[in-house]
Structure 1
Amino acid sequence: MTTPATVTEEAVASLRATADPRLRDVLTGLIRHLHAFARETRLTHKEWERAVRFLTETGQTCTETRQEFILLSDVLGLSMLVETVNAERTPGATESTVLGPFHLTESPVRALGADIDLVGGGEPCVVSGRVVSADGTPLPGAVLDVWQADADGYYDVQRPDVQPPGNGRGLFAADTEGRFWFRTCVPSPYPIPTDGPVGELLSATGRHPYRPAHIHFIASADGHTPVTTHIFVKGGDYLDSDAVLAVRESLVKDFARTEDPALAKEFGITGPFRHARFDLVLERA
């Protein structure tokens, strides 16, 4: 007969026929930790029911353009922890950080130098750099998937009535020397969505919903491990209190103001602009 003292081992034993050994190991760990949590906190029926309802509401909030479960993982620090435990990083390689909940649509293919800010209204900005291997070898044709919020702090999928599809997004291929550059607007800090279960959780725990200003990247090249990362605007708000706990010091970059007319002409910009330089260093696979 099952008893409080035996239920954990019985639940673990029920997995013995699992054909996939990794699945068996993961589920075994999950069961043991969940049971230990329930015992440690003396979880009540009411709390268990509320947790089930919360997870149900989280799933019901997900749509084709919104991933509430990723958002939940982000604010609990789980997304960043998964990045950390999987990062056997070569010294000097670009650090990874969270994917975030808004990488849900395909970025349009764009030519180097294209402007991903299709609505305007923000401060003009150029992001440039190189994609190289850990030994400094340029990676010609490396692919960069880029996405960011607009100057008001919203992604295209959040305000389809204001932003055209693909605004703030671009898929670029580095040139023969591994170089890339594109135009955009300086990103702004913004709140993660708070109109769902994750927002209720933040409110209940007295946490703010804001992320520091950033631009997302996924960089990939043949023979190398892709990296998912951001760059953050140096000196911006919330760098020390990111709602999804994802800031890394190496990824905070200076978006320096420049009035160099020759540089402006090179990038196809008229007047002063901000310039962020960012090299992506990939590890060999």
Structure 2
Amino acid sequence: MTHIASGPISPAQQAVEEELVTAVVASFSQTNDGRLRLLMQSLTRHLHAFIREVRLTEEEWHAAIEFLTAAGHITDDKRQEFVLLSDVLGVSMQTIAVNNPAYENATEATVFGPFFTENSPKIPLGGDIAHGAVGQPCWVEGYVTDTRGTRIAGARIEVWECDEDGFYDVQYPDGRCAGRAHLYTDSDGAYRFWGLTPVPYPIPSDGPVGKLLDSVGRSPVRASHLHFMVAADGMRTLVTHIFVAGDPQITVGDSVFGVKDSLIKEFEQQQPDTRPPDGRDLGGRPWARVRFDIVLAPVSP
């Protein structure tokens, strides 16, 4: 007999449960798509194993259904609660790890997050992604190369971030587009733009995922970061962030497990009288600068 927290399970009961698992797994055996068949049969085995291991009660099953229903209701074209759930469970990071195996010195990938949007504005090299978002100006620059150090011209770089109040543009009700843009590397593989110095912020906590974190005593706060998505012909598309060195939240813990040591960068604070690289007039405000050289892995290493 198998012993669990609720007591021993009789051989007869185990047989009943095993018979059901076998029947459900077999129901997918005629699936023509081999990959779909594998996914459904493996999912069935793991779900049933979880139910049997914890001896899931009917009340807990109903609570889970209500949780998923609430996540569906709060999801819309600007908010993806299921991505948020995937993030806080570490599923997003595990999927990234599986699909972005380490390759030589290529830049590490991290979570996509729920706030990416299509059709961001294009800016020229040295342009400003803020578009009115409030925060400390930050000069971001670097090169995009392959793992041999060859610089990649024309790589598309998509960037997005929150404002100094911790909100992304899509979290505002006025339809603004701010704190996001895309640009392309020059003929030498270089890129540069103005953004905002990242700040920590809580993931949306007014929905079911926020309630889940509260009930288990976990912080909803993300470490300060700036999102990147980088694409070039023949290269694996990279989705990543850079994080602010010295941010206490890195030590406390990022709510979606996205921090990697290689992605922590020095955002060097500059005095108001320090001349920016492009001579921009910052109106006497302090600013920051960071260098992030991006190394792309080949599509089929």
Query: Aligning the two structures, in what range does the TM-score lie when normalised by the shorter sequence?
Result: over 0.9
Q: Find out whether 1:282 has 2:293 as its counterpart.
A: no
Q: What's 2:189 paired with?
A: 178
Work out which of the residue numbers 207, 219, 226 in structure 1 matches 2:230.
Answer: 219
Q: What's 2:244 paired with?
A: 233
Letter in 2 for 1:133: D
CA radius of gyration, larger in: 2
Q: How does 1:88-103 map to 2 (within 5 A)?
A: 88-103=101-116
CA displacement at 1:32 relative to structure 2: 0.4
The runs of 5 or more residues in structure 1 that have no matched partner are none
Letter in 1 for 2:266: D
Q: What's 1:273 paired with?
A: 287
| Distance in 2 separating the partners of 1:52 and 1:64 | 22
Contact 2:129–2:180 (8 Å) recurs in 1: yes
Work out which of the residue numbers 237, 243, 253 in structure 1 matches 2:255.
Answer: 243
Contact 2:160–2:227 (8 Å) recurs in 1: yes
Q: How does 1:186-197 map to 2 (within 5 A)?
A: 186-197=197-208
| Distance in 1 separating the partners of 2:36 and 2:249 | 38
TM-score by length of 1: 0.94
| Distance in 1 separating the partners of 2:205 and 2:133 | 26
- For 2:45, what is the secondary structure of its paired residue? helix
Work out which of the residue numbers 17, 23, 26 in structure 1 matches 2:39.
Answer: 26
Letter in 1 for 2:268: A
Q: What's 2:98 paired with?
A: 85
| Distance in 1 separating the partners of 2:131 and 2:248 | 25
Aligned-residue RMSD, C-alpha? 1.7
Identity of paired residues, percent?
44
TM-score by length of 2: 0.90
1:80-100 per-position Cα deviation (integer Å, ceiling 9, x unaligned) = 011112222211100000000
Contact 2:133–2:179 (8 Å) recurs in 1: no
Q: What's 2:66 paired with?
A: 53
Number of residues of Structure 1 aligned to a counterpart in Structure 2: 282
| Distance in 1 separating the partners of 2:37 and 2:158 | 35
1:89-123 per-position Cα deviation (integer Å, ceiling 9, x unaligned) = 21110000000000134311111111111225421
Contact 2:156–2:183 (8 Å) recurs in 1: yes
CA displacement at 1:262 relative to structure 2: 7.7
CA displacement at 1:282 relative to structure 2: 0.3
The runs of 5 or more residues in structure 2 that have no matched partner are 1-14
